[in-house]
Amino acid sequence: MSGWREAPGRRRFSRDQRLRILAGIVSFVVLIVVLQLWLFTATMNAYLGGEFGVALPAAVVSLVCLLLNLGLLRYVYRLER
């Protein structure tokens, strides 16, 4: 049985509130992914141009963005409990 069918007393937020929270989370996730897209194109341009110094910091920052996104996704699933 999916989480949203559980007894109403156990949920912290109503469905309407969860919908709005999720909309906010989606906005953040999209923003972070767009940042990663920009970072990837800039890194690719630097790599093709022979500038190798940016590859490591860009990879680290992109990984941090992924972890942030995973944290937000985890929060989405916790919302449904």
Partner 1 sequence: MSARDPDELTIPPDGRPMAEQPQWRQDFPIDVPQDQYVARREFTKFMVLTSFAFVAGQAWILAKTLLGRRSMTPAQAVTRFDAVPVGGSLQFDFPAPGQPKLLVRLDERTVVAFDQRCTHLSCPVLPQVDQGRFHCPCHQGNFDIATGRPLSGPPRRPLPRVELEIRDGVVWAVGITERTS
Determine, following the binding rule CB under 8 A, whether residue 15 of this chain makes contact with partner 1.
yes
The distance of closest approach from Cβ of residue 29 to partner 1 in the complex, given in angstroms and rounded to an integer, is 5
Q: How far is the CB of 81 from partner 1 (least distance, A)?
A: 14
DSSP 8-class letter at 50: T
For partner 1 (CB under 8 A), the number of binding residues is 44
Q: Specify the amino acid at residue 26.
A: V
Shortest CB 59 distance to partner 1, Å: 4
Give whole-number Cα distances, 5 to 16, 56, 70, 76, in Å. 14, 46, 25, 16
